[in-house]
Amino acid sequence: MYYVIQVKTGKEQQAIDDILKNKPDDASFDVFAPYRKSLRKYKGVMKEVVERCFPGYIFVETNDVQRLFKQLYFTPGFQRLLGREAETENFVPLDKDESRMIDILYSASSNRITEISNIEVREGEMIRVLDGPLAGLETQIKKVDLHKRTVTVEYMMCGRLVTSNVGINIVTNIINK
């Protein structure tokens, strides 16, 4: 189960290091801050850059939330564990659909970095995803910015509608005649 933790913005990696440094040997935590790859043009040359997706937030995958909370209590920079229900004092993990989006966009096999998706663009039509993490998520794409080479994906997380920008590579640009 995934839990979202708010930390000081810019101190995400320090918080991850502090959690892992003090983690008991028998504890099972996968702590990460998701990143995305995108293409940027610098001095006329396209370069691949890596950017943080959610500044001020880190994610933890664990089945032992009580042990996680005890660990966080002694972590400098920890602000709060999101999803707390005031009436029950429980911490709520991301639900099944939210966890699926984390697994798709920020999979452990890709070191929690969203890869660039290859797309095909047809004039007057929607884009077609050829491969990459956006494959199968076409209905959740809300905005396409061909100039910046990003698409905005919209999904629910912690009961809120959030957006993530995902880098794209335009493989073909077919103009209908």
Residues 34-84: pLDDT tens digits?
999 998 888 888 899 999 988 988 998 888 877 877 777 777 767 777 765
pTM of the model: 0.79
Q: Which CATH architecture has domain 2-174?
A: 2-Layer Sandwich (3.30)
Please, are residues 135 and 124 in contact by the beta-carbon 8 Å criterion? no
The amino acid at 149: R
E strand or H helix at 4: strand 2-7
Domain residue ranges in the chain? 2-174
Both tokens of 162, joined, read 């959030």
H or E segment to which residue 80 belongs? strand 78-81
Q: What is the mean pLDDT of residues 4-20?
A: 87
